[in-house]
């Protein structure tokens, strides 16, 4: 046996051999360095000095976005920056003077820009003027020889044709930030780099992988005066190095109609809110607009701090999408679902009458109808038409909240519709279990009364309202709303196409249920006593429901206070949702006008404008026929007014 020390000793030979191996290995490295730095040093040094070959990224053109009727919505437009590289200046005074002349400024201000960037290396170009005109571009290019150090940087700007219109839907692109980089790399398994542009909102974000394309690279030679030229492969050293063309992004065709977008945007002029229109028989989103809005083009080339401040500082939050990212109490529009629940459960039929005296006491609390004197004896159709609170509250008082909730949920309220856009909110339909979990309290009977008229805990978004009313119109089919129709590659080949998807079908046992609810909704618009008769539009034959969403619950003395006299933040939201035409539904639309006070006067006209645009463009024959029907309704109304020999009363514009 060996002792420990002997063991070490008998291995000493190998240790010595290892030290020889190391010496040889590093000797080899040094020999190689000698070869490169001394033997070939001069040659390689010249390469690094004179032949500034650089590998530069060639940005892939991002895919374009079209409307359903093939109108271009989002485009890429080349823009130019004038840049200056201090290292290549020969006569600074002269060059700055000439450049100032071209750019319409003076040498001193260019010098100031240079001073501001004087801490960076002299070979790094400085941007003197962003987004120069074609004229300025042409002058710089033609006087290139007299302007050593000056050149033009080209970049592609993402331009949104209608600027603010539908900005929330289209979204925007911007540079990946330092904090986003690791997360996005993880998420997409893609080697993003700082400086890469990526969709950050809306369609641009959702379809980023299709739109983005793949960047290429090219080799660019920069000569001793800082001018770039495409590298031409003549040099033996760089034999075999080749450019790689970028792969264009894919083009996208939306389900959105541009004219409806413009009409919707115009209808929301001066309002804070959102409107969405959906094809009743497919779930295609035809229009989706939110106001106030922002100009997405501003994001694609670094936001100016002023513009960013104006967006963030705006108390109406222009960056927020009112259609899918915001929820609110649906107000009386919810009565349609209370009605369906009661009818299906057999609590009511079309003849059931309930007396409305203007108020209704339950326990210690008194519930009021919006009409001070009450409606008298009302049936379902009339209750919907005139939006009688007491009718629905008395019926609801006989029912279980979970039953009402189930019907509302089966129409898709209180959960995400599944539209493929980021950050959709879910809304809320309260149940006994929910309340127990959320507050640890039992459900109160009075709360059922509030829920039945769409107040208290109920929260929905416009997209949910439009989807659910589309289901009332089409017999109960819940479609997944979608905004993208087709995706094409840059050669125009169809890559992917999206088709309607029925998520579920509401089970309606009683065939009369939908018939009488629809009749009620029809009369809201087309019966002289209907809450929105005065805003019924022409040629669209709409059925719908107005609503006001209480922002703050009103104390008893304020119930009848005029909404417009209240402070802005306390005013009700105006809500409207409807579908058209009544007898052959094609389109459903919902709108919220925040703090708009009235459903009928403020919200209804927005939907009316969007649907009118749809009918004229897509159903011109129906539109003409409807105009005639409208004429009959109007004539009858005028005749009845004359018969009563009364002055026409001012239409009532609140419905609660």
Considering only 146, 214, 242, 433, the residue that binds other proteins (CB under 8 A) is 242
CA distance 221 to 53: 5
Considering only 232, 244, 326, 478, the residue that binds other proteins (CB under 8 A) is 244
- In the complex with other proteins, the residue whose CB is nearer, 81 or 386, is 81
Draw the binding track, 381-420, toward other proteins (x: CB under 8 A; -: no contact): ----------------------------------------
Cα–Cα nearest to 65, from 204, 167, 196: 204
Does residue number 8 form part of the binding site for other proteins (CB under 8 A)?
yes
Whether residue 74 contacts residue 172, with contact meaning beta carbons closer than 8 Å, is answered with: no
Binding residues for other proteins restricted to 532-551, rule: CB under 8 A: none
Does residue number 230 form part of the binding site for other proteins (CB under 8 A)?
no
- In the complex, what is the shortest distance from the CB of residue 116 to other proteins, in angstroms, rounded to a whole number? 14
> Number of C-alpha atoms within 13 angstroms, CB side, residue 103?
27
Considering only 138, 237, 494, 624, the residue that binds other proteins (CB under 8 A) is 237
Does residue number 11 form part of the binding site for other proteins (CB under 8 A)?
yes
Does residue number 186 form part of the binding site for other proteins (CB under 8 A)?
yes
Applying CB under 8 A, the span of 190-198, 303-311, 422-430, 526-534 interacting with other proteins comes to: 190-198
Applying CB under 8 A, the span of 7-15, 412-420, 510-518, 641-649 interacting with other proteins comes to: 7-15
Binding residues for other proteins restricted to 81-140, rule: CB under 8 A: 120-121, 123-124
CA distance 135 to 137: 5
- In the complex, what is the shortest distance from the CB of residue 2 to other proteins, in angstroms, rounded to a whole number? 5
Q: Residue 353 burial (CB < 10 Å; 0-12/13-18/19+)?
A: middle
- In the complex with other proteins, the residue whose CB is nearer, 16 or 555, is 16
Residue 181 in tokens: 């980089």
- In the complex with other proteins, the residue whose CB is nearer, 236 or 499, is 236
Does residue number 42 form part of the binding site for other proteins (CB under 8 A)?
yes
Local structure of 318: helix, strand or coil: coil
Identify each DSSP E strand in 142-272 by its residue range.
150-160, 173-175, 197-199, 216-222, 228-230, 251-254
DSSP string, 456-493: TT-BB-HHHHHHHHHHHHHTSEEEPPB-EEEEE-TTS-
CA distance 359 to 178: 60
- In the complex, what is the shortest distance from the CB of residue 145 to other proteins, in angstroms, rounded to a whole number? 24
Does residue number 493 form part of the binding site for other proteins (CB under 8 A)?
no
- In the complex, what is the shortest distance from the CB of residue 12 to other proteins, in angstroms, rounded to a whole number? 5
- In the complex with other proteins, the residue whose CB is nearer, 216 or 376, is 216
- In the complex, what is the shortest distance from the CB of residue 191 to other proteins, in angstroms, rounded to a whole number? 7
Does residue number 40 form part of the binding site for other proteins (CB under 8 A)?
yes
Residue 219 in tokens: 């080799």
Does residue number 219 form part of the binding site for other proteins (CB under 8 A)?
yes
Residue 501 in tokens: 């998807």
Does residue number 561 form part of the binding site for other proteins (CB under 8 A)?
no
- In the complex, what is the shortest distance from the CB of residue 189 to other proteins, in angstroms, rounded to a whole number? 6
Considering only 127, 138, 194, 445, the residue that binds other proteins (CB under 8 A) is 194
| Residues paired with residue 547 on neighbouring β-strands, in sequence order | 575
Applying CB under 8 A, the span of 15-23, 347-355, 492-500, 524-532 interacting with other proteins comes to: 15-23
- Size of the residue set binding other proteins (CB under 8 A): 65
- In the complex with other proteins, the residue whose CB is nearer, 5 or 565, is 5
- In the complex with other proteins, the residue whose CB is nearer, 219 or 434, is 219
CA distance 393 to 451: 9
CA distance 23 to 562: 95
Considering only 224, 241, 366, 624, the residue that binds other proteins (CB under 8 A) is 241
- In the complex with other proteins, the residue whose CB is nearer, 23 or 154, is 23
Local structure of 121: helix, strand or coil: coil
Cα–Cα nearest to 582, from 515, 508, 494: 515
Strand order in the sheet with 52-58: 52-58, 216-222, 228-230
Phi, psi of 115 (to 5 degrees): -60, -40
CA distance 284 to 499: 9
Local structure of 275: helix, strand or coil: strand
Does residue number 23 form part of the binding site for other proteins (CB under 8 A)?
yes
Does residue number 228 form part of the binding site for other proteins (CB under 8 A)?
no
Distances (CA, A) of 174 to 170, 180, 194: 13, 11, 11
Does residue number 22 form part of the binding site for other proteins (CB under 8 A)?
yes
Phi-psi group of 70: left, alpha or beta (phi > 0 → left; psi -120 to 50 → alpha; rest → beta): left
Distances (CA, A) of 417 to 279, 527, 607: 14, 32, 20
List of residues contacting other proteins (CB under 8 A): 1-2, 4-12, 14-19, 22-23, 25-26, 28-30, 32-34, 36-38, 40-45, 47-49, 52-55, 120-121, 123-124, 178, 185-186, 189, 191, 194-195, 217, 219, 236-244
């Amino acid at each position: 046996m060996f002792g420990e020390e002997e063991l070490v000793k008998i291995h000493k030979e190998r240790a010595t051999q290892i030290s020889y191996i190391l010496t040889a290995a590093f000797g080899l490295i040094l020999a190689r360095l000698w070869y490169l730095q001394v033997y070939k040093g001069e040659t390689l040094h010249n390469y690094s000095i004179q032949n500034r070959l650089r590998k530069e990224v060639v940005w892939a053109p991002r895919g374009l976005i079209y409307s359903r009727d093939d109108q271009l919505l989002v485009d890429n437009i080349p823009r130019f920056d004038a840049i200056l590289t201090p290292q290549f200046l020969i006569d600074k005074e002269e060059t700055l003077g000439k450049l100032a002349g071209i750019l319409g400024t003076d040498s001193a201000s260019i010098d100031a820009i240079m001073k501001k960037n004087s801490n960076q290396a002299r070979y790094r170009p400085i941007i003197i003027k962003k987004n120069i005109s074609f004229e300025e571009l042409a002058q710089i290019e033609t006087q290139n020889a007299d302007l050593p150090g000056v050149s033009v940087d080209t970049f592609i700007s993402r331009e949104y044709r209608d600027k603010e219109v539908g900005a929330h839907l289209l979204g925007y692109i911007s540079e990946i930030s330092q904090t986003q980089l690791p997360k996005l790399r993880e998420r997409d398994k893609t080697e993003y780099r700082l400086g890469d542009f990526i969709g950050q909102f809306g369609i641009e974000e959702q379809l980023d992988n299709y739109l983005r394309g793949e960047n290429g690279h090219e080799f660019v030679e920069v000569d001793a005066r800082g001018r770039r030229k495409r590298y031409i492969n003549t040099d033996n050293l760089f034999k075999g190095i080749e450019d790689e063309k970028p792969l264009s992004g894919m083009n996208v065709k939306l389900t959105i109609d541009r004219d409806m977008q413009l009409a919707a945007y115009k209808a929301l002029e001066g309002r804070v809110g959102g409107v969405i229109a959906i094809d009743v028989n497919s779930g295609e989103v035809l229009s989706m607009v939110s106001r106030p809005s922002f100009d997405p083009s501003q994001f694609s080339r670094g936001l100016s701090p002023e513009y960013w401040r104006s967006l963030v500082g705006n108390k109406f939050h222009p960056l927020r999408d009112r259609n899918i990212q915001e929820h609110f109490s649906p107000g009386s529009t919810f009565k349609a679902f209370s009605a369906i629940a009661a009818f299906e459960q057999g609590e009511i039929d079309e003849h059931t009458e309930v007396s409305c005296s203007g108020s209704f006491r339950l326990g210690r609390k008194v519930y009021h109808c919006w009409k001070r004197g009450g409606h008298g004896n009302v049936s379902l159709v009339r209750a919907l038409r005139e939006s009688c609170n007491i009718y629905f509250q008395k019926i609801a008082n006989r029912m279980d909240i979970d039953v009402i909730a189930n019907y509302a949920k089966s129409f898709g309220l209180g959960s995400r519709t599944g539209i493929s856009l980021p950050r959709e909110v879910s809304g809320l339909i309260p149940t006994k279990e929910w309340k127990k979990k959320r507050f640890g309290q039992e459900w109160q009977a009075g709360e059922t009364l509030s829920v039945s008229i769409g107040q208290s805990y109920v929260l929905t978004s416009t997209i949910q309202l439009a989807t659910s009313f589309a289901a009332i119109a089409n017999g109960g089919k819940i479609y997944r709303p979608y905004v993208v129709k087709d995706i094409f590659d840059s050669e125009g080949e169809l890559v992917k196409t999206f088709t309607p998807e029925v998520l579920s079908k509401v089970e309606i046992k009683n065939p009369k249920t939908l018939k009488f609810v629809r009749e009620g909704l029809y009369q809201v618009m087309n019966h002289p006593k209907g809450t929105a008769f005065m805003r019924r539009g022409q040629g669209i034959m709409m059925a719908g429901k107005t609503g006001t969403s209480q922002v703050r619950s009103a104390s008893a003395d304020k119930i009848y206070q005029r909404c417009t006299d209240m402070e802005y933040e306390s005013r009700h939201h105006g809500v409207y949702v409807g579908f058209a035409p009544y007898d052959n539904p094609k389109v459903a639309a919902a709108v919220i006008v925040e703090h708009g006070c009235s459903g009928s006067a403020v919200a209804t006209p927005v939907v009316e404008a969007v649907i009118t645009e749809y009918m004229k463009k897509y159903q011109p024959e129906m539109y003409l026929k409807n105009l005639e029907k409208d004429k009959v309704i109007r004539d009858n109304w005028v005749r009845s007014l004359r018969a009563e020999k009364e002055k026409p009363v001012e239409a009532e514009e609140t419905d609660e």
